[in-house]
Every structure is written in C-alpha cells, then in structure tokens.
Chains A and B, each alone.
Chain A
Amino acid sequence: MHDMSAHAVQHHAPTSFIRKYVFSLDHKVIGKQYYALALVAAFVGMFLSWMMRIHLAWTNAAIPGLQLLSKTGAPGGVMTPDYYLQLMTMHGTIMVFFVLTTAPFAAFGNFFLPIQVGAEDMPFPRFNMMSFWVTFSAFIVLMASFFVGDGPTLGGWTQYAPLNAVGSIGGPGQGSGVILWAASIGLFCVGQLLGALNFITTTLDLRVKGMSLMRLPLSAWAWFITSCMGLTAFAVLMPACILVILDHVAGTSFFVASNLVLNDQLVPHSGGSTLLWQHLFWFFGHPEVYIAIVPGIGIISHILIANMRRPMLSHRTLIYSMGALAVLSYMVYGHHMFVSGMNPFSSLAFSFPTLVITIPSTIIVLIATFSLYGAKLRINSASLFSLGFISMFVSGGVSGFFLAQPSIDIMLHATYFVVGHFHLVMGVAAMFGIFAGTYFWFPKMVGRMMNETLGKIHFWLSFVGAYCIFMPFHYLGMAGNVRRYSTFVDDFLQPLIPVHRFITVAALITGAAQLVFLYNLIHSRFWGKPATDNPWEATSLEWSTATPPPFDNFGGKHPVVYHDPYQYGVQSSVGDYVMQASPEQVKTEEEEK
C-alpha cells in the first residue's frame, strides 16, 4: 500500500451526530440508510400484499384494523374493489421503486462500489447525500397519499393513461392520489439520477492503481451497468411525470383523448394520446426490470465465486452479457404494449429483440450453472440464496418465452400468468439477490456475523414459499383468471378460489418467514458473533480493509491492485486464494502440476 501524503487527507470524519448519522456524506452511511429505507418499504409492501391476498381468498372476511387505514375504503374491515386496486398500486410502486431499485442498487452499490474500486468515497458526496434524502422524501410523499383526500391512486404501478390524467372522475385516489404518485416518482427519478452520476464517475475515475476495468469484481460491473441504465431510464420517466402533473393541475391535454366520458361525465380534455404515456412509461419501465435484476446477477456471481472457490467460466462473457441486457432492455419495451392497440408490425419489431434478450440471460445462467458443476460449494445462507436467485430467474424467465410472442401474449396478458412471470423473474429473484447480499456483506457492514441457522431456515421457507405462491399463478393464468380483479366470488372463476386460498396461506407463511430474517438482522446487529476482516476468505478489495471499514475505507492508505478479482483455487501463503491487493505471486493448481 502507498502512504498518502499529509495534505491529501482532507476528508475528516464527522463528529456531530447529524453529520455522522443523518445528513451524512459518507457513502457507507448512505448505503445503510438506503438499506433501512428499503427494509421499511419491503415490509410495508409485504403487508399490503397480505391484505390483498386475504381479500382475494376470503372476499367477505373482515380484516381487523383495516378500517383504521381507510374508513371509506374498508368499511368494517372489508375492502371495496376500489380500495383493493389502491392497495395493489401502492404494493407495486413501493416494491418496484423503493425496494427492488433501492436495495440491490442504491444500498449495496453505495456501500460497496467505492470500496471495491479502492476509492475513499464517491466523487460527489453532497449529491450522494441529496440522492438519499430526495429518495426518502419521495417515499414520504407516496406514503402521504394514504392519508390525503380519498386515498392513494388506483391506477396500478404503471399508471396508464387516460386514467392517470382525468382527475377524481376516474375514481378514488385519481385526484390528489395521482399527483402525489407522480410527484413521488418524479422525486425518485431525481434521486436515482444523482446516484447514477456518482456511480458512473466512481467507476470510471476513482479506481485505484492497477484496477483496470476488467479487474473490477462482477458486482461493481453490475452496479456500473445498472447506473448507466438508470441514467437513461429515469431521465425519461421524469418528464413523463411532469406531463401527467400538468394534465392534472394545469389543464393541458397530453394524455387524455377527446370526448372521453367517464362515470357519465365528459372529461374536459382534447386530443391527447394515451399510447404516448405507455411509450414514455415503458421506455423506462422495461429497463427498470433490468435495473432491479442486473445488480442481483452481479451480487450472486460475486458470492457464488467466493463460495465455489473458483472464478466463473468466463468473467468477460458475464460482463458483456450484462451489458447486452442493458442495451437490449431499451429495444424490447413494446412487448408490454402488445394489447394496447399499437400497430401489429410494431409488436413484431418488439417481439424479436424480446426473444433475443433471452440469449444473454441464458448465457448468464449457463455460465453460473456450468461454473457450479463439480465445484465444492460452501453451503451458507448467502450461497443458498444465490442458488435460489438462479432458480427463480430461470423459472420466471422461461415463461417470458411465451409472453414474448404477441399471439400468445394476447391470451395471457391480462391474466395471472403475467403476474406469476414478473414476480418470479424480477420480484423474488431480485429479493433473493438482496438476501444473498445481506448475508454475505452484513459482517463487513456492521462488524458482526448473522446467524447461519436462522438464515438457512429463512432460505428454505422463502424458497419453497415463493414457489408455492407464484407457480400456481401460472396455472391460474392459463385457466383464464384475469388479474387486477378484487373478487372472484360469483363468476366463472369460482372453481379457482381454492387455488387462491392455497396461495394466500403460502403468502402468509412466507411473509412470516421474513420476520425470521428481520429478527436475525436486528439480533445479529447487536449480539451477533464479531466478524473478522475477511470471514469468507474472499479476494476483492472490500475484504482487505478493516471490519467495519474506517471512515475513509482504507485507513489513510490506497490499496494497489495486482490481480484479477477472483484468484481462487491457488496456493498462497494465506490459503487457496490471493487478495486483489496482495503483491504475492502465486501459481494455480494446474501450473503446479
């Protein structure tokens, strides 16, 4: 390591409580803040899904206490169809934005990207702090819609036009609820753009000596690629949110067509394009799926490699595949719009890249599984969740082949088949990535180990539970069960109610299993076994610094990188691995022979 000269250290650790824990400029504190936000959001989102599932399975059953959340939406604890949609919208919005984007990308990325490239912080710490607090405000604004006017919006997380722009005629929450939703998401975009600025410049400019781009760990690559996607996607969603707000408050007509009559009232707008919203939204929305999943791919690869004790079959191919996902994600967004009335030729044009994007996805999965072949995998909570990630990604991804074809998608689009597909491939898989990252990096983040037994219990309950919840969704979809309906009591879907009840019970149990995780997280934070600097015998730079890392990450020194990130299966003085920052020259086992 090189000593830094005296005046290079201008980065003094803060002493006041506010600068240290609240408005902190330290990327590690900001990362933890993001994680805490995602944790709260995840439990709120999960609670909402419980409410919806109970209502779907036992439609007339009163949920005790629900009337406290909304007197009009759930009189006597039984939710109205409108309120079901409001809860569904909030569940989707909270989960997609404040959990799946926030945790794997903003939380872990903030904490570990600078350390993995060897920097002492992000280049623009003030923007970084703003990034978190703007995102936090966005969450507060979104939550506020529960308590304002007639509740949150009911338009779904995609907020399709014209419903998003007609005001309260459209139903409860379509007035103030939509404005708060759009304001919240607009703010969220600002937060993520500031984050992307820091992530990109950190990766490109702050790498230490010897850290060439190809020597970056896969997780760092994933965050870099994700931030490039976020930069492009959120910069498009923000103007869309501005236009929606203008349609509401300024009387413009961007998204509402002429002569629209809703609830027997003529909507005072003219000539707007409803498809325009879908184009703007999905240009963001599809890359958003990859913004949620690519960090997971990077994280689980990083973890699997450390536990397999061997690198992936091809480091480069994995990176290029993640890059290909990022580029292709912009060319496939129209597959969300096959049933929108778009020109059928456009459908064809969007269908082809959608099938093509399965190629890099498949390459990633095949590299991971073939690398696992014959490896003596160390089984722990982190590696189990990484395997779970691959399983969920494959199971959810396979149904994507069906949905990618317009002719099949038309049948399945409005059914639970799609719900099952995206929950597995994007929701559960990304959540498993978050869990894997948590079990793996928790020791470095707080200096204590998590309880492995509880972690494994958490894994098996979540793994089996997730399949019990989301596999029957595919069956429901093929049986014609439409999505977004709040009740199936008196119609042809009556025979499917037992399946819904099974799913609900599975959801309640799987949700309860997350309390095991929460207990483990909190208990280990205070009473866990103290962690060593490198408990997993891993090689990347985050493991060559102290646990938890000092304020400037490497204690006033800058590491120098001598090796590729994953030097496992070698014979060195410390064991079967050599750290990136270690100048030791080693030979692989093959070379020894």
Chain B
Amino acid sequence: MATTIPEPPQIDPHRLPGPKHSGNGGWRDLVPPNGAPRVALHHSPPPSSTGIYVVLFAITMMFAAFSSALIVRKGSSLDWQTFTLPSILYINTLILLASSVTLEVARRRVATFMGGLKSHAESPTRWLYITLSLGLLFVAGQYFAWSQLRTEGLYLATNPSSSFFYVLTATHALHVLGGLGGLIYVIRMLGKSALRRSTLDATARYWHFMDVLWLYLLCLLWMKL
C-alpha cells in the first residue's frame, strides 16, 4: 500500500506560486507592500477565482428555487393574473448590458497594465465609474418599474404573479447592489494600487452573471406574466 515518491508531485504548475513561496503561501502576498500590482501576476490565482464560481452557483440555486416555485404556483391554481411588464424594464436591460461592456473595457485596460503589456493603465477608473453609474441607474430604473406597477394598483400581495415579480426583481436588485459594493471596493483598491487581478476578475464575472441572470429573469417573467 505504501507509495513513496522521492520527489513530491506538483499539484498544478500554474497554481504554484513563485520560487520564493511554497504551497498556499502565495495567495496572501499577491501585492507586495507599496509594490506595483502587476508583480502579482507571476503568482498563483488565489481562491477568489474559485470562490466566485461557488458564489454564482449558490445564486443560481436560489433563483432556480424561486423559478420552480413560480412555475408550481402558477399551475396550482386558477387565480394567476397576467399583466404587461413595465416598458422601462427593457431600457433597464439595455443599461445593464451597457454596464457590462464598460466594465469589460475597464477590466481589459487594467489587465493589460497588470500583465506588463503597457506601462500605464489608460483611465480604467473612469470606465469603472461609468459602470458604477450605469449599475445605479439600473437599480433606480427597477425602482421606477415598481412604482409604475404600484400606480396601476399592483402590489406585492395583489396577485401571485405580482408577488413573484416583486420577489424576483427585488432579489436580483439586491444582488446587483452587492455587485456595486464590489465595484466600489475595486475602485478603492485601484486608487491605492493594491488591486488584485483576481479581485477584478471575480467582480467582473459576478457582474456579467448579473446580466445573464437578468436576461433569464426577463424571459421568465415575460413568458409567465
């Protein structure tokens, strides 16, 4: 049974940090104190790149639960009333998609700088601020959609269809707000030259996921309401 290997095998050469570090030591010091952030690139990707997929999986499960609840609830009774989605939602969709594009522009600019392909980053902060504003605009737009429904007399408890509309859109908006928090953190870290590439990537993945999730929700609501 005893398997003895004179040289320990490496888990994955891409995951191992540089020669100065062994094992998991690498992830803590991606950004040396007062150092340029691009030094970080030579080290292993830290757990946030795995962690973000764990988070996205949990969010997917949560919305899967809500969706199946919607489908079951709709089929369980005849009291389901359809209504037209507020048209502002389509504008909100475009805003959210645009924010993904601007974030991707910012991310690529920071990435080329961190990768050492450019000596300075071309105003990534500006693009991040644009993304932030678009995100805020999206949440404000959602709020506008809710008030529009309220003026039509559709409240949370009016009908199961409106209940699900509010629950799904509000939960999504809360997650978008969480993403905005992530963006603010990224901007702050970038200002301090202490941004980790992985943090930026994780935030971007989260943000793009919010887009995809919203497109899915819009389709679901459009089909079922």
Report B159-214 residues with CB < 8 Å from chain A CB: 160, 163, 167, 171
Report A553-586 residues with CB < 8 Å from chain B CB: 558-564, 567, 569-570, 578, 584-586
Tell me, in angstroms, the Cα distance from A206 to B33 when the chains sit together.
Answer: 22
Interface residues as binary, B56-84 with A (CB distance below 8 Å gives 1, 0 otherwise): 01110110111011001100111110000
User: Does B24 reach chain A (CB closer than 8 Å)?
Assistant: yes
Please determine whether A201 and B2 come into contact, CB atoms closer than 8 angstroms: no
User: Does A208 reach chain B (CB closer than 8 Å)?
Assistant: yes
Please determine whether B58 and A118 come into contact, CB atoms closer than 8 angstroms: no
Report A519-571 residues with CB < 8 Å from chain B CB: 558-564, 567, 569-570
User: Does A120 reach chain B (CB closer than 8 Å)?
Assistant: yes
Tell me, in angstroms, the Cα distance from A558 to B10 when the chains sit together.
Answer: 14
Please determine whether B51 and A239 come into contact, CB atoms closer than 8 angstroms: no
Instruction: Specify which chain A residues have a CB less than 8 angstroms from the CB of B47 in the assembled complex.
Output: 123-124, 201-202, 204-206
Please determine whether B2 and A567 come into contact, CB atoms closer than 8 angstroms: yes
User: Does B54 reach chain A (CB closer than 8 Å)?
Assistant: yes
B21 in complex: contacting residue of A4, A11, A204, CB < 8 Å: A4
A271 in complex: contacting residue of B50, B69, B78, CB < 8 Å: B78
Total count of chain B residues near the partner, CB < 8 A: 54
Interface-centre pick from B20, B58, B171 (highest chain A CB count, 10 A): B58
Instruction: Specify which chain A residues have a CB less than 8 angstroms from the CB of B25 in the assembled complex.
Output: 4-5, 8, 120, 558
Instruction: Specify which chain A residues have a CB less than 8 angstroms from the CB of B160 in the assembled complex.
Output: 252-254, 271-272
User: Does A280 reach chain B (CB closer than 8 Å)?
Assistant: yes
Report B19-67 residues with CB < 8 Å from chain A CB: 20-29, 32-33, 46-48, 50-51, 54-55, 57-59, 61-62, 64-66
Tell me, in angstroms, the Cα distance from A317 to B8 when the chains sit together.
Answer: 24
B15 in complex: contacting residue of A118, A205, A239, CB < 8 Å: A205
B89 to chain A, nearest CB (A): 21
Please determine whether A8 and B8 come into contact, CB atoms closer than 8 angstroms: no
Please determine whether B76 and A235 come into contact, CB atoms closer than 8 angstroms: no
User: Does B130 reach chain A (CB closer than 8 Å)?
Assistant: no
Please determine whether B65 and A8 come into contact, CB atoms closer than 8 angstroms: no
Instruction: Specify which chain A residues have a CB less than 8 angstroms from the CB of B27 in the assembled complex.
Output: 123, 205-206
Please determine whether A254 and B163 come into contact, CB atoms closer than 8 angstroms: yes
In the complex where A238-B62, A586-B2 touch, is A279 in contact with B22 (Cβ < 8 A)? no
A5 in complex: contacting residue of B21, B64, B167, CB < 8 Å: B21
User: Does A10 reach chain B (CB closer than 8 Å)?
Assistant: yes
User: Does B156 reach chain A (CB closer than 8 Å)?
Assistant: yes
User: Does A197 reach chain B (CB closer than 8 Å)?
Assistant: yes
Instruction: Specify which chain A residues have a CB less than 8 angstroms from the CB of B8 in the assembled complex.
Output: 209-210, 560-562
User: Does A242 reach chain B (CB closer than 8 Å)?
Assistant: yes
Instruction: Specify which chain A residues have a CB less than 8 angstroms from the CB of B32 in the assembled complex.
Output: 7
Please determine whether B2 and A587 come into contact, CB atoms closer than 8 angstroms: yes
Measured as residues with beta carbon below 8 angstroms from the partner, the interface class of chain A is: 35 or more
In the complex where A271-B79, A275-B72, A276-B72 touch, is A7 in contact with B33 (Cβ < 8 A)? yes
In the complex where A205-B47, A270-B79 touch, is A311 in contact with B62 (Cβ < 8 A)? no
Tell me, in angstroms, the Cα distance from A272 to B50 when the chains sit together.
Answer: 39
User: Does B87 reach chain A (CB closer than 8 Å)?
Assistant: no
B125 to chain A, nearest CB (A): 25
Please determine whether B2 and A208 come into contact, CB atoms closer than 8 angstroms: no
Please determine whether A276 and B69 come into contact, CB atoms closer than 8 angstroms: yes
A235 in complex: contacting residue of B10, B20, B22, B62, CB < 8 Å: B62
Tell me, in angstroms, the Cα distance from A273 to B156 when the chains sit together.
Answer: 17
Tell me, in angstroms, the Cα distance from A591 to B3 when the chains sit together.
Answer: 11
Please determine whether B22 and A209 come into contact, CB atoms closer than 8 angstroms: yes
Instruction: Specify which chain A residues have a CB less than 8 angstroms from the CB of B79 in the assembled complex.
Output: 253, 258, 270-271
Tell me, in angstroms, the Cα distance from A246 to B167 when the chains sit together.
Answer: 9
Please determine whether A585 and B6 come into contact, CB atoms closer than 8 angstroms: yes
User: Does B4 reach chain A (CB closer than 8 Å)?
Assistant: yes
Please determine whether A235 and B157 come into contact, CB atoms closer than 8 angstroms: no
B54 in complex: contacting residue of A201, A211, A246, A562, CB < 8 Å: A201
Which residue of chain A has the shortest Cβ distance to B59 in the bound complex? A235
User: Does A236 reach chain B (CB closer than 8 Å)?
Assistant: yes
Tell me, in angstroms, the Cα distance from A212 to B57 when the chains sit together.
Answer: 24
Report A186-234 residues with CB < 8 Å from chain B CB: 193, 196-197, 200-202, 204-212, 231-232, 234
Tell me, in angstroms, the Cα distance from A8 to B47 when the chains sit together.
Answer: 16
Instruction: Specify which chain B residues have a CB less than 8 angstroms from the CB of A558 in the assembled complex.
Output: 22-25
Instruction: Taking A202-B47, A207-B24, A254-B163 as given, write out 20 further A-B residue pairs in contact, using a Cβ cutoff of 8 Å, ordered by the A residue number.
Output: A10-B29, A124-B47, A197-B58, A200-B54, A204-B50, A205-B46, A206-B23, A208-B24, A210-B11, A231-B57, A234-B58, A239-B65, A243-B167, A252-B163, A253-B79, A271-B76, A272-B76, A280-B69, A563-B2, A586-B4
Which 5 A-B residue pairs are closest in the complex by CB-CB distance?
Answer: A271-B77, A210-B8, A123-B47, A235-B61, A273-B76
